[in-house]
Chain A
């Protein structure tokens, strides 16, 4: 039971948006799809949901090809950045439509969630603010009960309180209705605690695809006086270095020694720091 992406390639003119991407999403886990702007996240997700066609490769949902396949597409719900609902449709009509197409749509949950967020269901979807338009789509994503739910920049335009509400509701829903969730976001620090598996994409290629814990355990951070840090870093695989006055902080790939030189402090990298370090390293290598 999984979404299998096999050798997916997407080319726009001279630009290669996806370059032979292969990965798997499944096992009722929460995935984080991370990448810089223009990395190919939205392209990958829109091909998975058959909104656009690949130049090469294929996507399979539970073994069935996704392209032009109602059975496969009916098992995916994509909460994208864009509104694909008709301009004149009201929020409650949007819920009606979702109920018509997804028999498992939990209307009571959707209504309750709308009330919780303060979303006026009588309003036209087009007239909603950016934040409330995102909330409308998030509620649909949480209510559809499909085995695979994709959130592409789900918290776009949401304030801190609503973002927190969404993360809580996602975890609650995940607890009561386990499914495979894919979160594509730039707010890595906010979702780091939610995602069990991380896929990092850069320049149309997947550069990391592993459980989040093992990724952050691959590297550590060391900080202290600059001269001592410099001495420690000799011969090590340094991902990134930040200097502030006489203090230096470095991210290092690998496992730290059991005892560090005096004056240096060791800490585990969080996902955001790991991502930044990895991107800096990739930039240096390019």
Chain B
């Protein structure tokens, strides 16, 4: 790793971590609201009664949306800054992905610690439910809390998901960066069609996607692998989009 790469990584990871910290504070506030709601009490003639019942299962999903948005917003400004400060586009791009990996792992781990802690509240208060993606897909409702190994699996799954969502965001932003006005309109129309239309067309032409989903749902590592392969494929396309891009001010595009 050369000096430019390290500097680019340090700058980008700090930039992403600042935004991630704000997101995490919001998540903490949401969890606090869930707990307050569940513990809310009412006094009536019959006495003192707990009226709340709450659940929070969206940490992983919300984090994925957050990283997707970072993937859309971060690359252009970071690549411009790196170019201004003498970093090659290859180093800028790779350090961006490495920063995203570091931030994804940090957010997934922090989320896991938060969920693990909150799940202990679920033990003492049955009307609160805290769970995340791994638990909902691979563990089910049989267990309120997770074992350490399950927490590790959950963190790994969320890390892979966040990284994949980040690269999806990067792909979209680079695609729209490189396309001219006409092709941008074509892409804007095509993307929703591809997302919704292709599965429908596959179904119509008899391509059965069920075995894939069964395979993905059978073990968490299958889903991890699938997300990583998707991330690598997107990253390869992104590099093709970026390697000859003219890096310039947004006002001159």
- Say which residue of B5, B10, B81, B83 sits within 8 Å of A51 (CB atoms): B83
B246 touches A71 (CB 8 A): no
Q: How far is the CA of A77 from the CA of B83 in the complex (A)?
A: 10
B85 touches A70 (CB 8 A): no
Chain A residues whose CB sits within 8 angstroms of the CB of B78 once the complex forms: 86
> Is B87 part of the binding interface, using a Cβ–Cβ cutoff of 8 Å?
yes
A82 touches B86 (CB 8 A): no
Given A82-B252, A84-B247, A50 and B89 contact (CB-CB distance below 8 Å): yes
> Is B11 part of the binding interface, using a Cβ–Cβ cutoff of 8 Å?
yes
Most chain A CB atoms below 10 A, which of B5, B77, B84, B89: B84
Q: How far is the CA of A52 from the CA of B252 in the complex (A)?
A: 14
Most chain A CB atoms below 10 A, which of B5, B80, B243, B251: B80
Chain A residues whose CB sits within 8 angstroms of the CB of B83 once the complex forms: 49-51, 84
Write the nearest CB–CB distance from B217 to chain A, whole angstroms.
41
In the complex, which range does the number of interface residues on chain B fall in? 20 to 34
Residue count of chain A within 8 Å CB distance of chain B:
31
The 10 closest A-B pairs by CB, nearest first: A82-B249, A70-B4, A101-B85, A84-B84, A84-B80, A52-B246, A86-B77, A68-B88, A74-B86, A73-B86
> Is A167 part of the binding interface, using a Cβ–Cβ cutoff of 8 Å?
no
A70 touches B5 (CB 8 A): yes
Q: How far is the CA of A106 from the CA of B2 in the complex (A)?
A: 21
A85 touches B84 (CB 8 A): yes
The 23 listed contacts between A and B (C-beta, < 8 Å) are A50-B83, A50-B89, A51-B83, A53-B243, A68-B89, A70-B4, A70-B5, A70-B87, A70-B91, A73-B4, A74-B3, A74-B87, A80-B84, A84-B84, A85-B84, A86-B77, A86-B78, A87-B77, A97-B11, A100-B11, A101-B85, A101-B86, A146-B86
B85 touches A102 (CB 8 A): yes
Given contacts A70-B3, A71-B2, A97-B81, 8 further A-B contacts (CB under 8 A): A70-B5, A82-B249, A84-B80, A85-B81, A86-B77, A86-B81, A97-B11, A102-B85
User: 1/0 contact trace for A40-61 toward B, CB 8 Å?
Assistant: 0000001001111100000000
Given A70-B4, A71-B2, A74-B3, A98 and B85 contact (CB-CB distance below 8 Å): yes
Write the nearest CB–CB distance from A228 to chain B, whole angstroms.
51
Give the dominant DSSP class at B's interface.
Answer: helix
> Is A76 part of the binding interface, using a Cβ–Cβ cutoff of 8 Å?
yes
User: 1/0 contact trace for B225-253 toward A, CB 8 Å?
Assistant: 00000000000000000011011110110
Q: How far is the CA of A75 from the CA of B246 in the complex (A)?
A: 20
Q: How far is the CA of A20 from the CA of B78 in the complex (A)?
A: 32
> Is A78 part of the binding interface, using a Cβ–Cβ cutoff of 8 Å?
yes
- Say which residue of B81, B244, B251 sits within 8 Å of A53 (CB atoms): B244
Given A97-B11, A100-B7, A68 and B81 contact (CB-CB distance below 8 Å): no
Most chain B CB atoms below 10 A, which of A51, A69, A80: A51
Write the nearest CB–CB distance from A9 to chain B, whole angstroms.
15
Q: A205-229: which residues lie under 8 A (CB-CB) from chain B? A: none
Give the dominant DSSP class at A's interface.
Answer: loop
Write the nearest CB–CB distance from B125 to chain A, whole angstroms.
42
> Is B90 part of the binding interface, using a Cβ–Cβ cutoff of 8 Å?
yes
Chain B residues whose CB sits within 8 angstroms of the CB of A98 once the complex forms: 85
Chain B residues whose CB sits within 8 angstroms of the CB of A70 once the complex forms: 2-5, 86-88, 91
Chain A residues whose CB sits within 8 angstroms of the CB of B11 once the complex forms: 97, 100-101
Q: B31-87: which residues lie under 8 A (CB-CB) from chain A? A: 77-78, 80-81, 83-87
> Is A83 part of the binding interface, using a Cβ–Cβ cutoff of 8 Å?
yes
Which residues from chain A sit less than 8 Å from chain B, CB to CB? 46, 49-53, 67-71, 73-78, 80, 82-87, 97-98, 100-103, 146
Q: How far is the CA of A74 from the CA of B88 in the complex (A)?
A: 9
Q: How far is the CA of A76 from the CA of B85 in the complex (A)?
A: 9
Given A70-B4, A85-B81, A103-B3, A77 and B86 contact (CB-CB distance below 8 Å): yes
Q: B1-18: which residues lie under 8 A (CB-CB) from chain A? A: 2-5, 7-8, 10-11
Chain B residues whose CB sits within 8 angstroms of the CB of A53 once the complex forms: 243-244, 246
Q: How far is the CA of A82 from the CA of B80 in the complex (A)?
A: 10
Q: Whose C-beta in chain A lies nearest to the C-beta of B14?
A: A100
Write the nearest CB–CB distance from A116 to chain B, whole angstroms.
23
Write the nearest CB–CB distance from B67 to chain A, whole angstroms.
19
- Say which residue of A51, A71, A102 sits within 8 Å of B247 (CB atoms): A51
Q: How far is the CA of A86 from the CA of B77 in the complex (A)?
A: 5
Given A73-B4, A82-B251, A102 and B86 contact (CB-CB distance below 8 Å): yes
Q: Whose C-beta in chain A lies nearest to the C-beta of B251?
A: A82
Q: Whose C-beta in chain A lies nearest to the C-beta of B82?
A: A101
Q: How far is the CA of A67 from the CA of B11 in the complex (A)?
A: 22
Q: How far is the CA of A82 from the CA of B252 in the complex (A)?
A: 8
Chain B residues whose CB sits within 8 angstroms of the CB of A49 once the complex forms: 83
Chain A residues whose CB sits within 8 angstroms of the CB of B3 once the complex forms: 70, 74, 103
Chain A residues whose CB sits within 8 angstroms of the CB of B251 once the complex forms: 82-83
B248 touches A69 (CB 8 A): no
Chain B residues whose CB sits within 8 angstroms of the CB of A76 once the complex forms: 86
